[in-house]
Amino acid sequence: MQKFFEEYLSILENCHNDIIKAMEGLSFDALDWQPGPDMNSITVMVYHLTGAERYWIGDVVDQSPSGRDRDGEFKVSNVGQDALKARLDENVDYARKVAEKLSLTDLAETRISPRSGKTVTVAWAFLHALEHSMLHLGHIEMTRQLREASRAK
C-alpha cells in the first residue's frame, strides 16, 4: 500500500479511536441522549458518520453499493458501545480493503455519486469521508460534555 493511503487510514483510525474514547463508560441512555430538539445523539452520529464513510469510500470510490439507509441512520437508538465500536472498526477494515486496490494515480479518477449524480474525484470522496467524520467527532465530544454538564447541575 502506498504511503498516502497508509497515512489516510492512520488518521481515520485515530478519529475512530477518539470517538470510542468519547463513548467510554456511557450507558445506552447516555448514548441516546440528545442535547436539545432536532439535535442528534451520539448513537445517531456514529451511525450517520459510518454510513457516510461507507457511502463515499464504498458506493462512490469502490462502486460497491452498500444499501445505505441515510434516513434510518437518524432514527437509531438503544445500541450499545460494543456494537458502535464494531461498526467503526468494520469501516476502517473496509477502507483498508478499498485503499489496497488503489494507486496514487487513481486519486485523479472521477466517480459519480449515485445519490446526487455529482461527479467527484476519488481523492475528493476519500477526503470528504474523513472530513465529515472528523466534524462529527467534535460533535460527539461536545455532546458528551453537554450531557455531563447537564447532569452535574
Tell me how crowded residue 93 is: count the other CB atoms within 10 A of its CB: 10
DSSP state of 55: I
CA dihedral (81, 48, 40, 137) positive or negative: positive
Q: What's the whole-number average pLDDT of the chain?
A: 97
Total domains present in the chain: 1
pLDDT > 90: percent of the chain: 97
Look up the pTM and report it.
0.95
> Nearest-5° angle of CA 21, CA 25, CA 31?
85
pLDDT tens per residue, range 39-86: 999 999 999 999 999 999 999 999 999 999 999 999 999 999 999 999
Note down the domain range covering 51. 3-152
- The region, left, alpha or beta by phi > 0 then psi within -120 to 50, assigned to residue 25 is left
Set of cell numbers at residue 96: 483498508
Q: What residues contact 36, with CB distance under 8 A and at least 6 apart?
A: none
Q: What is the CATH number of the domain that holds 131?
A: 1.20.120.450
pLDDT tens per residue, range 3-14: 999 999 999 999
Q: Alpha carbon 2 to chain centroid distance?
A: 23
pLDDT on residue 139: 98
Whether 70 and 32 have beta carbons less than 8 Å apart is answered as: no
| CA end-to-end span of the chain | 51
153 pLDDT higher than 80 = no
